[in-house]
Structure 1
Amino acid sequence: MSDEQFDELANAAWRRATKTGSNGGNCLEVAPLSGGRVGIRDSEAPEKAPFVVRPEVWDAFIDGAKKGEFDF
């Protein structure tokens, strides 16, 4: 990881879903990054390297979630 990427991730505006509620915050966090990319990390281990996905990958994930593809 380059210094530029490290700095961007360290200063990213990480956020959790508003429906996280009172479960202690055990969830994923996401952050918008340059070039439309999205960072994804575990809220319980923010010190670990996050996943970074291209905009089209994030869009496909959101589309699938809205369509219920991940529902049990």
Structure 2
Amino acid sequence: MRSIPEYDLDAAAWRKSSYSGGDGGNCLEVTHDFPTVVPVRDSKTPHGPALIFPASVWVAFVNAVRI
């Protein structure tokens, strides 16, 4: 069984998309503080869980949804 690495996200610099606006709506936040992964969280629950994607998968996702 492969072990899953742990990442300390407490000191991460999280950011929202510039398209999210300032109305406090539903937003995702990401941090690029880790070279091989991109953690993603819900901005409404910053102390809740984060999904952690391999960086290459995140890049492919962003490229696929880019307008």
Q: Percent sequence identity over matched residues?
A: 38
Deviations 1:2-61 (A, max 9, x none): 6x62x3x11111000112113224311000132331010000011112000001110110
How far apart, CA to CA, are the structure 1 residues paired with 2:52 and 2:33?
9
1:46 alignment counterpart? 46
4+ residue runs of structure 1 moved beyond 6 angstroms? none
Give matches, 1:25-44, under 5 Å.
Answer: 25-44=25-44
SS state at 2:31 partner: strand
How far apart, CA to CA, are the structure 1 residues paired with 2:10 and 2:22?
26
Judging by fraction of residues, say which structure has more helix: 1
Equivalent pairs, count: 64
- The RMSD of aligned alpha carbons is 2.0
Higher deviation after alignment, 18-27 or 44-53 = 18-27
Judging by fraction of residues, say which structure has more strand: 2
How far apart, CA to CA, are the structure 1 residues paired with 2:36 and 2:53?
9
The code of the aligned residue for 1:50 comes to A
Q: 5+ unaligned residues in a row in structure 1: which ranges?
A: none
